[in-house]
Amino acid sequence: MNLHEIYGDFQGKVVDRDEVEPEHFKSWIEWGKENNMKLDFNSTSFSHPKSGDLSLANPDEGIRNFWIEHTKRCRAVAEEMGKAQGDPCIMNLWVHDGSKDITVNRMKYRALLKDSLDQIFATEYKNMKDCIESKVFGIGLESYTVGSNDFYIGYGAKNNKMITLDTGHFHPTESVADKVSSLLLYVPELMLHVSRPVRWDSDHVTIMDDPTMELFSEIVRCNALDRVHYGLDYFDASINRIGAYVIGSRAAQKCMVRALLEPIAKLREYEANGQGFQRLALLEEEKALPWNAVWDMFCLKNNVPVGEEFIAEVEKYEAEVTSKR
């Protein structure tokens, strides 16, 4: 489970972002152990009086140092989480920095962001991993984003950092799947934020749509199962929240099952032999192969509802638990 810094257990005290300590997440760490749940982490640069349009790229030294200190402390928290759970805690770094209208200081802000990152990553840890996340634009910051895809790819490749690919952070016609094979040649690992963008970064519930199936297929085709981490990134409050969680989780798992069952050896044989007709024909037939039977058996073996049976389980939970809160 991925936590933002703002979800710390501050015991009713006011703790500013540059004062956060591992102790503020002690109860979360204990909860994770009790529930066999590993934790990942995020710094939080938004929703604060010092957020504005610029945080780590802010030319105001006081504000920039505030956010540098915040992010350094978040990495220290992630290190303690990873140490306690015996598994690296992945800390994602995304900042909203940008401009609503035309800027003539693109290089200046990016140089500041690079310097901030250099300071933040100066301390090396053994029990946490860093990943850096780009975006095309943010609401209210439509004309310029400091942490663009090009910026973070360059920084990640140069500094051996994990790159985060959020499926909602690119142009709607871009293929996020196509980025996997390119990036894995230059960076050690990838983090995915799997969402369903509808008109950009709208974070609808993940479903078995073509982009998600293509993304998971590409990971398997790249033999990168041990180099890619998967995070589901959606928060659709228009439907039952437990139901949304279950639909998205099962959709991602189905996409992976389907990808693992692809007759890749035969497809590659056709491609190597220049048999384009045969390759396309098998790709089409693959769509109707009974992968769902494998999925149903997987559910049975793991004692979870098969097919739409989970709907009744969610409705029961809503009636007996959530409706009484």
Contacts with 51 (C-beta within 8 Å, 6 or more apart), sequence order: 45, 96
Contacts with 60 (C-beta within 8 Å, 6 or more apart), sequence order: none
- The pair of three-digit structure tokens given for residue 259, joined into one six-digit string: 């990808």
- The pair of three-digit structure tokens given for residue 60, joined into one six-digit string: 């105001």
* Residue type present at position 94: W
pLDDT value of residue 287? 93
Percent of the chain with pLDDT over 70: 100
pLDDT value of residue 280? 98
Q: What is the pLDDT of residues 265-291, one digit of tens each?
A: 999 999 999 999 999 999 999 999 999
- The Cα–Cα gap between 164 and 167 comes to 10
For residue 194, give the nearest of 106, 253, 122 by alpha carbon.
253
pLDDT at 139 over 90: no
- The pair of three-digit structure tokens given for residue 116, joined into one six-digit string: 């901030």
pLDDT value of residue 237? 79
- The pair of three-digit structure tokens given for residue 174, joined into one six-digit string: 């871009």
CA angle 208-210-213, nearest 5°? 65
Q: How many CA atoms lie within 13 A of 275 on its CB side?
A: 12
pLDDT value of residue 243? 94
pLDDT at 3 over 90: yes
pLDDT value of residue 151? 98
For residue 254, give the nearest of 289, 226, 304, 294 by alpha carbon.
294
- The Cα–Cα gap between 306 and 300 comes to 7
Q: For helices 276-286 and 264-272, what crossing angle results, to 10°?
A: 160
Q: What is the pLDDT of residues 69-98, one digit of tens each?
A: 999 999 999 999 999 999 999 999 999 999
pLDDT value of residue 236? 80
| Predicted confidence band of residue 225 (pLDDT cuts 50, 70, 90) | very high
**Dihedral angle over CA of 55, 61, 65, 67, nearest 10:** -10
| Predicted confidence band of residue 320 (pLDDT cuts 50, 70, 90) | very high
pLDDT value of residue 265? 97
pLDDT value of residue 138? 87
The structural domains of the chain, with segments of one domain joined by +, span 1-131
- The Cα–Cα gap between 171 and 322 comes to 37
pLDDT at 298 over 90: yes
Please state whether 203 falls in left (phi above 0), alpha (psi between -120 and 50) or beta: left
| Predicted confidence band of residue 235 (pLDDT cuts 50, 70, 90) | confident
Average pLDDT over residues 301-311: 96
What is the average pLDDT value for the chain, to the nearest integer? Answer: 96
Q: What is the pLDDT of residues 108-137, one digit of tens each?
A: 999 999 999 999 999 999 999 999 999 999
Q: What is the pLDDT of residues 146-205, one digit of tens each?
A: 999 999 999 999 999 999 999 999 998 999 999 999 999 999 999 999 999 998 888 999
For 167-231, what is the HEC assignment? CCCCCCCCCCHHHHHHHCCCCCCEEEEECECCCCCCCECCCCCHHHHHHHHHHHHCCCCCCEEEE
Percent of the chain with pLDDT over 90: 93
The alpha carbon dihedral of 117, 119, 121, 122 has a sign of positive
CA distances 52 to 7, 17, 140, 257, 299, Å, are 21, 15, 11, 43, 47
pLDDT value of residue 224? 97
Catalytically active residues are 94, 133, 135, 166, 169, 193, 201, 203, 233
